[in-house]
C-alpha cells in the first residue's frame, strides 16, 4: 500500500468526581446530618453534636465551658489545699521546702547582715511567695547589689561630711591650732568614755559639737586627770587597742590624707608610747 492507513487513537473514557456539598443547617436551624457525614470522622462523629444540635446551643455551651475552666483554674491557683499547693509548686519549680534553696557563695558588702539567720529568713520568705530557685537567687542578688550601691553612696557622703567639717574648723583654727585642739577634744572624749562617738558621722563630723566640747568641756578637765586615767590602763588593754587600731588602718578604704586616718596614725603613736 502506497498510502498509510490512518488509525484513530482510542478515546480514553474519563469520569469526573463531583464533590457533593450540603447545607450546614437544616430548615429547622439544626446541624445537617448529611453535612456532618461529609466531615472527617473525628469531627463529624464527635460527641459534641449529640449535646448541641444547633449553632446557638453550641456557642452557649462553649462559653459556659470556658467560664468553668477559668473558674477551676482560679480556684486551683488560689487554693490552700496541701495537694493543690504541692502541684502548683511542681508546675512552677518551687522547692518543696525552704531548706532546698541553694544560693551562690559570694562576698557580701561590709555592713550587710546576711548571717545564717538572715539567709534562713529570706528562704522562708521566698518559699511563702512561691519563688523558684532562679527567682530567689535573682532577688537576693538584686538586694545585695542595691545594698552595695547604698553603702558606697553613704561612704561618699560621710567622706564629704568629714572633709567639709575639717575645712570649716581649719578656717577657724588656723596653723597648728587645728591639730592641737582636735587632740584635746579626742583626749577628753576618751576620758569621758565617748571614744566610740568620735567615728559617728552624726557627731564626729558635727562642727558645733566639736567646738562645744573644746570650749565648754576641755577647760573643766585637767591634763593630769587625763594622764592619770591613761596610766590606769594595763599593758594588755593597750596592746589590744593597738592591734584593733592597726587592723582598722590596714583595711581603711578612705583617703589616707583625711582627718580620720591621720587621727588613727596619731592614736597609734600614742599607744606605742604608752607600751614603751
Tens of pLDDT, residue by residue over 240-268, are 778 888 888 888 888 888 778 888 888 88
Give the residue-averaged pLDDT of 152-179: 83
Instruction: Please state the rounded mean pLDDT for residues 48-68.
Output: 77
To the nearest whole percent, how much of the chain has pLDDT over 70? Answer: 74
Q: The dihedral of CA 101, 103, 109, 115: what is its sign?
A: positive
Give the tens place of pLDDT for each residue, 195-228.
Answer: 777 766 666 678 888 888 888 888 877 665 555 5
What pLDDT score does 203 carry?
A: 65
Are residues 110 and 151 in contact, defined by beta-carbon separation less than 8 angstroms? yes
Tell me the three cell numbers of residue 3. Answer: 498510502
Q: What is the pLDDT of residue 1?
A: 47
pLDDT value of position 66: 72
Q: Which of 37-41, 91-95, 225-229, 236-240 has the lowest mean pLDDT?
A: 225-229
Report residue 19's pLDDT band, with 50, 70 and 90 as the boundaries: low
- The pTM score is 0.41
C-alpha cell at 55: 449553632
What's the angle, vertex CA 92, arms to CA 99 and CA 69, rounded to 5?
A: 140
- At residue 17, the pLDDT reads 46
> 101, 127 in Cβ contact below 8 A?
yes
Contacts of 83 (CB under 8 A, 6+ apart): none
Sorted by sequence, the CB contacts under 8 Å of residue 257 that are 6+ apart come out as none
Q: What's the whole-number average pLDDT of the chain? A: 76
Amino acid at each position: 500500500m502506497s498510502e498509510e492507513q490512518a488509525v484513530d487513537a482510542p478515546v480514553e473514557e474519563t469520569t469526573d468526581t463531583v464533590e457533593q456539598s450540603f447545607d450546614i443547617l437544616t430548615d429547622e436551624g439544626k446541624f445537617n446530618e448529611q453535612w456532618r457525614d461529609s466531615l472527617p470522622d473525628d469531627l463529624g462523629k464527635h460527641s459534641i453534636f449529640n449535646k448541641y444540635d444547633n449553632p446557638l446551643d453550641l456557642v452557649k455551651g462553649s462559653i459556659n465551658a470556658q467560664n468553668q475552666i477559668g473558674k477551676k483554674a482560679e480556684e486551683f491557683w488560689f487554693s490552700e489545699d496541701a495537694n493543690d499547693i504541692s502541684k502548683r509548686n511542681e508546675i512552677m519549680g518551687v522547692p518543696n521546702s525552704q531548706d532546698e534553696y541553694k544560693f551562690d557563695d559570694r562576698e557580701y558588702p561590709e555592713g550587710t547582715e546576711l548571717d545564717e539567720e538572715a539567709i534562713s529568713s529570706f528562704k522562708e520568705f521566698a518559699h511563702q511567695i512561691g519563688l523558684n530557685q532562679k527567682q530567689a537567687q535573682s532577688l537576693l542578688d538584686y538586694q545585695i547589689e542595691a545594698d552595695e550601691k547604698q553603702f558606697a553612696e553613704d561612704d561618699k557622703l560621710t567622706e564629704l561630711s568629714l572633709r567639709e567639717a575639717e575645712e570649716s574648723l581649719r578656717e577657724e583654727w588656723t596653723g597648728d591650732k587645728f591639730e592641737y585642739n582636735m587632740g584635746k577634744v579626742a583626749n577628753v572624749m576618751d576620758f569621758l568614755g565617748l571614744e566610740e562617738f568620735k567615728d559617728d558621722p552624726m557627731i564626729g563630723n558635727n562642727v558645733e559639737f566639736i567646738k562645744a566640747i573644746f570650749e565648754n568641756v576641755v577647760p573643766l578637765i585637767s591634763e593630769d586627770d587625763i594622764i592619770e586615767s591613761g596610766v590606769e590602763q594595763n599593758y594588755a588593754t593597750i596592746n589590744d587597742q593597738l592591734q584593733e587600731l592597726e587592723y582598722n588602718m590596714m583595711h581603711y578604704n578612705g583617703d589616707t590624707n583625711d582627718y580620720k586616718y591621720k587621727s588613727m596614725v596619731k592614736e597609734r603613736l600614742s599607744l606605742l608610747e604608752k607600751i614603751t
